[in-house]
């Protein structure tokens, strides 16, 4: 097991290096610099822009810039944002809690909806409930989050005036009021993300349960005269969860990506909106760092999924 | 009316034998506009004592106004004015830091950290135009309780011009010399007589940071200063917290140097999102008090305004959307350089073609159907302040006239309908940055040009490429490897010197200067150069205004520049918010006077 983990981690290093080379080259080839706004401002002489470029090392050859970045990274220095001149790790850490809370809540919501609905639908295949659940699931994951987000804003903020559509990370209140305000402003983004995720999961849970429900050990359990609820919970769901857990783990990095759009709509100061603004401003160090974090997440969650898989299903061994 | 007459009249206004109204009427009789006449009076020192560039402030005590909530769809990322590469960052720095003086919306200076605006009369401006002496306001405190003094001002000059710091503001400071006269007096010295003396320490680039907190970070370590993110300034609001790219919070500063200010107890600037939803949060739901830079179609703004909670503020400045007709040939390489200054554009060198091009764009339609209140049509490149506005230019949209001119000049339609002469076809590449109103303008232009036998090939470049300083990229606007291009240029100061230097011959953008010259259209005129040089040393404001009017007429009259629409700044605010806005300075330039009417 330990050996397997070490081997997997060692394999991850060249993958990460490869990812970083590709990312860096693409960013270096992409034109532009972070000083676009200085361009048409006649109060700022153009050579000031040139000096700025030079001072940030933007005029060095690509390979040299990459090596500088890599060695800094190895020393644990993530570099600093050209635009805000703040260390990148600081920027990311500042935003991580918000992202994790919103995404975490959305993921919990997705599971809370998908598990019961999926299981219930699978135990009564082709019933009316199953048909409705399936239709809604299809609708749910066909609608993009930016559309449902705007729809919710129009309904709950503009028409009904119930919920705020500007997310504020800091709220001047204490105790219950603080909690209430945070929950109130999180309702819409969490609904948008959670239902989108949940819709896809419903389909997955349903098919996983359907696979298990016809297996021999379930029939045996039923034959022993166990109540239907016990059969479903103990014998069916537990087994069906193996692929579901893997899927959820593998989906985590994708969820971070999916949140970019939602964060932009609701002005949530999360990692996603950091990435968007950095891309718009050509802020290479931030883009590198955030995408690199995403890459690490993908690799990490892949590893976790593999480990979980083997642990849940003894037929798969670590080799 | 010649200059002596004008001077005589101004003298009579000053000694009271001629009323201001009479003066304006006489000037109107000789073709000068009323705003120009009043501005001439103002700059000649004959403005009435009661003239206010800034609206009256009513609250009678400090604080008690609750929270002011401002929305910027572009979030600010840093709080050091010397590093601020965009207006959002300059604005959020301006919440804490103050310059010596700011620009009011009528283009006059308003003292902030200065005790008074320097003038000939008070001895602030030297007779020879080589120096300006600023008297500083006494009793000004930094937010941490230290005294503000001349040392701080001198330090800012050293800081901004230091190459190690790489400050964005260095352009305003590197060519001047700053001396401390005494603790509350500072002298700025120029290398030559300088009529535009109000650059260093004024407006957005003039914000003054405290010496005692930055003096150890005035070199390559400038980035490490903790105060870059936790500013300590002299303004009405002091720092509470900042999350780069998200929220900036500030609170009332009890020792502020202006009486009864500020009105609000706290201030929050939230960033991010998009312009339409920002407009919505102010105009429709009233969640926020003010939203910055409404780059939203006017139709939508009007619809949102119908909710009657807030209004759209339109502040006239010098921003202008215009078309450039390349004076050089973009399709021929000389010494490995396209659009080389030794070449001439094969078609645009004919004035008839340029005139036709100017006749083929329907500016009224642009105003009516695309820009709305955010883009009034104009015939001038230099539109504001009114004292610099030419009355001589006219614009017209006439396809028929364009056709006649081209016919007369010998440009004959070929079988495919495109005109040609001596093997030169009227087929132009027309580039601009990706942006919905610009693409619609391109389409309108193309359609009209087609009917005059001119084919426009439309090209749109993503803004981050178009406006980048990347020397390796062929699509930047400074290279102008196309026949024509269109963009907006802004005029951040109320003086047109920096604005109009984009047509002098020594600013031509070439490979030799890494395409950093500001004359991108590469138009050259000896007369323009001469007048510009004279204006740089001309200390008489009236003569100088006339020179800039002439420069505008020269470049617009040549039709190498086709002004389309002015771009005033557009913002949204709640009906009961009283703010002081100016297009010549930052949004937050007079934040100390913002209040809410109850």
- Whole-prediction pTM value? 0.84
Based on the domain organization, do B113 and B76 belong to the same domain? Answer: no
**3-state DSSP assignment of residue B388:** helix
Residue with tokens 């972070």: A34
pLDDT tens for residues B472-494? 788 889 899 999 999 999 888 88
Q: Is residue B54 part of a domain?
A: no
Q: Is residue B101 part of a domain?
A: no
Q: Is residue B411 part of a domain?
A: yes
Q: Is residue B154 part of a domain?
A: yes
* CATH number of B336's domain: 3.10.105.10
Quote the pLDDT of residue B209. Answer: 95
pLDDT tens for residues B133-180? 999 999 999 999 999 999 999 999 999 998 888 888 888 898 899 999
Mean pLDDT of B354-369: 94
Whether B467 and A40 lie within 8 Å, measured CB to CB:
yes
Mutate which of A29, A34, A35, A44 to disrupt the B interface (most B C-beta within 10 Å)? A44
pLDDT tens for residues B371-430? 999 999 999 999 988 889 998 999 999 999 999 999 999 999 998 999 999 999 999 999
| Selected residues 105-134 of chain A with any CB under 8 Å from a CB in chain B | none
Quote the pLDDT of residue B176. Answer: 93
Q: How far apart are CA B593 and CA B237, in angstroms?
A: 11
> Comparing B121 with B400, which gets the higher pLDDT?
B400
Q: Is B49's pLDDT higher than 50?
A: no
Which H, E and C letters describe chain A, residue by residue? CHHHHHHHHHHHHHHHHHHHHHHHHHHHHCCCCCCHHHCCCCCCCHHHHHHHHHHCCCCCCHHHHHHHHHHHHHCCCCCECCCCCCEHHHHHHHHHHHHHHHHHHHHHHHHHHHHHHHHHHHHCCCCHHHHHHHHHHHHHHHCCHHHHHHHHHHHHHHHCCCCCCCCCCCCCCCHHHHHHHHHHHHHHHHHHHHHHHHHHHHHHHHHHHHHHHCCHHHHHHHHCCCCHHHHHHHHHHHHHHHHHHHHHHHHHHHHHHHHHHHHHHHCCCCHHHHHHHHHHCCCHHHHHHHHHHHHHHHHHHHHHHHHHHHHHCCCCCCC
Q: Is A231's pLDDT higher than 90?
A: no
Q: Does A83 touch chain B (CB under 8 A)?
A: yes
pLDDT tens for residues A156-215? 888 888 888 888 877 777 888 888 888 888 889 898 888 888 888 898 888 888 888 888
Q: Is residue B55 part of a domain?
A: no
Based on the domain organization, do B175 and B255 belong to the same domain? Answer: no
- Phi, psi for residue B487 in degrees, rounded to 5: -165, 180
Based on the domain organization, do B311 and B324 belong to the same domain? Answer: no
Based on the domain organization, do B310 and B402 belong to the same domain? Answer: no
Q: How far apart are CA B130 and CA B136, in angstroms?
A: 20
Mode of pairing for the β-strands spanning B101-103 and B109-111: antiparallel
CA torsion B299-B301-B302-B303 (nearest 10°) is 90
Q: Measured between CB atoms, which of A42, A47, A277 is closest to B499? A: A42
Query: What is chain A's mean pLDDT, rounded?
Result: 83
Mean pLDDT of A130-147: 88
Q: Measured between CB atoms, which of A32, A46, A47 is closest to B464? A: A32
Q: In what order do the strands lie in the sheet with B185-189?
A: B131-135, B185-189, B177-182
Quote the pLDDT of residue B2. Answer: 59
Based on the domain organization, do B278 and B166 belong to the same domain? Answer: no
Quote the pLDDT of residue B50. Answer: 43
Mean pLDDT of B78-89: 86
Based on the domain organization, do B279 and B305 belong to the same domain? Answer: yes
Q: How far apart are CA A186 and CA A109, in angstroms?
A: 12
Based on the domain organization, do B347 and B484 belong to the same domain? Answer: yes
Quote the pLDDT of residue A270. Answer: 86
Quote the pLDDT of residue B245. Answer: 85
Cis peptide before B318 (omega within 30 of 0): no
Mode of pairing for the β-strands spanning B290-291 and B67-72: parallel
Based on the domain organization, do B204 and B165 belong to the same domain? Answer: yes
Spatial neighbors of B91 by CB under 8 A, at least 6 apart, are: B72, B76, B292, B586, B587, B588
* Lowest-confidence pick of A116-120, A132-136, A144-148, B1-5: B1-5
For B430-441, the DSSP string reads EEEES-HHHHHH
Torsion sign, CA atoms A179, A182, A185, A189: negative
Residue with tokens 């004592």: B49
Based on the domain organization, do B422 and B561 belong to the same domain? Answer: yes
* CATH number of B186's domain: 3.90.76.10
The count of C-alpha atoms lying within 13 angstroms of the C-alpha of A52, restricted to the half-sphere facing its C-beta, is 28
B548 burial (CB, 10 Å; 0-12 / 13-18 / 19+) is buried
- Phi, psi for residue B571 in degrees, rounded to 5: -140, 170
Q: Among B179, B207, B225, where does a domain finish?
A: B225
Q: Among B198, B225, B252, where does a domain finish?
A: B225
Mean pLDDT of A121-135: 88
* Lowest-confidence pick of A40-44, A246-250, B154-158, B374-378: A40-44
Whether B516 and A49 lie within 8 Å, measured CB to CB:
yes
pLDDT confidence band for B553 (50 / 70 / 90): very high
Candidates B196, B225, B171; CA nearest to B103 is B196
Quote the pLDDT of residue B30. Answer: 59
pLDDT confidence band for B269 (50 / 70 / 90): very high
| Selected residues 239-268 of chain A with any CB under 8 Å from a CB in chain B | 264-267
pLDDT tens for residues B193-223? 888 888 899 998 899 999 999 999 988 888 8
Q: Is residue B53 part of a domain?
A: no
Q: Total domain count for chain B?
A: 4
**Nearest Cα residue in chain B from A44:** B171
CA B362 to chain centre: 25
Based on the domain organization, do B360 and B385 belong to the same domain? Answer: yes
Based on the domain organization, do B430 and B459 belong to the same domain? Answer: yes
> Comparing B565 with A32, which gets the higher pLDDT?
B565
Mutate which of B87, B282, B432, B469 to disrupt the A interface (most A C-beta within 10 Å)? B469
Quote the pLDDT of residue B253. Answer: 94
> Comparing A166 with B325, which gets the higher pLDDT?
B325
Q: Is A24's pLDDT higher than 80?
A: yes
Quote the pLDDT of residue A37. Answer: 67
Q: Which residues of chain A lie closer than 8 angstroms to B473, CB-CB? A: 31-32
Q: Does B280 touch chain A (CB under 8 A)?
A: yes
Q: What is the Cα gyration radius of chain B?
A: 25
pLDDT confidence band for B54 (50 / 70 / 90): confident
Q: Is residue B480 part of a domain?
A: yes
Candidates B573, B595, B590; CA nearest to B291 is B573
Q: Measured between CB atoms, which of A51, A158, A280 is closest to B284? A: A158
Q: Does B488 touch chain A (CB under 8 A)?
A: yes
Q: Does A55 touch chain B (CB under 8 A)?
A: yes
Spatial neighbors of B81 by CB under 8 A, at least 6 apart, are: B89, B90, B93, B94, B97, B169, B204, B205, B207, B209
Query: What is chain B's mean pLDDT, rounded?
Result: 88
pLDDT confidence band for A271 (50 / 70 / 90): confident
Q: How far apart are CA B499 and CA B504, in angstroms?
A: 11
Q: Is residue B52 part of a domain?
A: no
Q: Which residues of chain A lie closer than 8 angstroms to B200, CB-CB? A: none
**Could you say which DSSP state residue B147 is in?**
B
- Which range of residues forms the domain containing residue B84? 61-96+235-315+568-598
* CATH number of B70's domain: 3.40.190.10
Residue pair A126/A195 in contact by the 8 Å Cβ criterion: no
Based on the domain organization, do B326 and B304 belong to the same domain? Answer: no
Quote the pLDDT of residue A301. Answer: 82
Q: Does B66 touch chain A (CB under 8 A)?
A: no
């Amino acid at each position: 097991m330990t050996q397997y983990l070490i081997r997997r981690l060692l394999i991850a290093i060249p993958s990460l290096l490869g990812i970083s080379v590709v990312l860096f080259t693409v960013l270096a080839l992409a034109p532009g610099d972070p000083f676009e706004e200085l361009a048409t401002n006649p109060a700022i002489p153009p050579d000031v822009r040139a000096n700025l470029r030079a001072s940030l090392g933007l005029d060095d050859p690509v390979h040299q810039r990459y090596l500088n970045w890599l060695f800094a990274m190895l020393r644990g220095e993530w570099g600093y944002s050209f635009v805000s001149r703040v260390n990148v790790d600081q920027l990311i850490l500042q935003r991580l809690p918000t992202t994790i809370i919103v995404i975490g809540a959305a993921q919990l919501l997705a599971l809370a909806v998908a598990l019961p609905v999926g299981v219930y639908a699978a135990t009564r295949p082709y019933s009316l409930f199953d048909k409705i659940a399936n239709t809604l699931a299809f609708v749910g994951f066909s609608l993009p989050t930016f559309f449902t987000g705007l729809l919710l804003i129009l309904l709950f903020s503009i028409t009904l005036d119930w919920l705020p559509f500007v997310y504020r990370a800091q709220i001047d209140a204490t105790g219950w009021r603080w909690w209430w305000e945070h929950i109130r402003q999180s309702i819409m983004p969490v609904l948008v993300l959670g239902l989108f995720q949940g819709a896809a999961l419903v389909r997955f849970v349903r098919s996983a349960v359907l696979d298990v429900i016809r297996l021999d050990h379930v029939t045996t359990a039923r034959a022993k005269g166990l109540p239907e609820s016990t059969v479903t919970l103990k014998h069916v769901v537990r087994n069906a969860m193996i692929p579901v857990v893997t899927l959820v783990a593998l989906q985590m990095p994708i969820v971070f990506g999916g949140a970019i759009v939602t964060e932009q709509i609701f002005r949530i100061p999360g990692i996603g909106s950091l990435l968007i603004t950095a891309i718009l401003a050509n802020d290479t160090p931030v883009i590198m760092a955030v995408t690199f974090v995403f890459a690490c997440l993908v690799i990490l969650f892949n590893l976790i999924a593999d480990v979980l898989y083997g642990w849940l299903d003894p037929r798969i061994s670590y080799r | 009316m010649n200059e002596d007459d004008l001077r005589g009249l101004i003298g009579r206004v000053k000694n009271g034998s001629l009323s201001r109204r009479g003066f304006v009427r006489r000037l109107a009789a000789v073709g000068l506009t009323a705003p120009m006449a009043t501005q001439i009076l103002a700059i000649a020192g004959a403005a009435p004592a009661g003239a206010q560039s800034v609206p009256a402030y009513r609250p009678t005590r400090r604080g008690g106004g609750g929270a002011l909530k401002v929305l910027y769809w572009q979030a600010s990322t840093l709080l050091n004015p010397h590093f601020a590469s965009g207006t959002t960052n300059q604005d959020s720095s301006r919440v804490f830091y103050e310059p010596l003086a700011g620009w009011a919306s009528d283009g006059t200076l308003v003292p902030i950290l200065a005790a008074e605006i320097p003038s000939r009369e008070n001895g602030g401006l030297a007779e020879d135009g080589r120096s300006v002496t600023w008297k500083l306001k006494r009793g000004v405190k930094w937010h941490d309780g230290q005294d503000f003094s001349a040392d701080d001002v001198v330090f800012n000059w050293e800081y901004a011009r230091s190459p190690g710091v790489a400050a964005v503001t260095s352009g305003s400071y590197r060519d001047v010399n700053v001396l401390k006269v005494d603790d509350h007096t500072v002298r700025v010295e120029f290398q030559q007589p300088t009529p535009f003396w109000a650059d260093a320490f004024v407006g957005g680039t003039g914000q003054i940071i405290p010496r005692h907190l930055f003096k150890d970070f005035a070199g390559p370590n400038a980035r490490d200063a903790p105060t870059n993110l936790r500013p300590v300034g002299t303004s009405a609001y002091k720092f509470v917290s900042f999350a780069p790219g998200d929220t900036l919070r500030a609170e009332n500063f009890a020792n502020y140097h202006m009486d009864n200010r500020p009105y609000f107890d706290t201030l929050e600037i939230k960033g991010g999102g998009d312009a339409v939803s920002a407009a919505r949060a102010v105009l429709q739901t009233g969640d926020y008090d003010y939203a910055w830079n409404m780059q939203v179609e006017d139709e939508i703004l009007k619809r949102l305004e119908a909710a009657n909670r807030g209004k759209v503020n339109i502040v006239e400045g010098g921003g202008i959307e215009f078309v450039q007709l390349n004076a050089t040939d973009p399709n021929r390489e000389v010494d490995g350089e396209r659009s080389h200054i030794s070449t001439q554009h094969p078609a645009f060198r004919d004035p008839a073609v340029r005139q036709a091009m100017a006749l083929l764009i329907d500016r009224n339609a642009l105003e009516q159907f695309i820009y709305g209140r955010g883009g009034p049509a104009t015939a001038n490149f230099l539109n504001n302040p009114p004292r610099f506005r030419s009355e001589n230019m006219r614009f017209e949209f006439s396809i028929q006239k364009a056709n006649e001119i081209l016919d007369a000049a010998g440009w004959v339609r070929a079988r495919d309908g495109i005109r040609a002469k001596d093997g030169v076809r009227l087929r132009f590449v027309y580039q601009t940055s990706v942006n919905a109103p610009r693409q619609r303008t391109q389409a309108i232009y193309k359609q009209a040009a087609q009917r005059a036998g001119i084919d426009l090939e439309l090209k749109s470049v993503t803004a981050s490429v178009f406006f980048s300083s990347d020397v390796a990229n062929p699509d930047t606007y400074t290279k102008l490897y196309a026949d024509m291009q269109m963009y907006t240029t802004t005029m951040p100061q109320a003086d047109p010197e920096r604005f109009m230097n984009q047509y002098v011959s020594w600013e031509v953008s070439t490979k030799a200067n890494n395409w950093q010259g500001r004359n991108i259209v590469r138009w050259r005129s000896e007369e323009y150069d001469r007048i510009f040089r004279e204006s740089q040393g001309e200390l008489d404001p009236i003569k100088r205004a006339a020179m800039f009017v002439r420069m505008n007429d020269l470049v617009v009259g040549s039709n190498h520049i086709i002004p389309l629409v002015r771009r005033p700044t557009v913002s949204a605010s709640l009906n009961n918010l009283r703010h002081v806005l100016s297009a010549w300075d930052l949004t937050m330039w007079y934040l100390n006077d913002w209040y809410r009417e109850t």
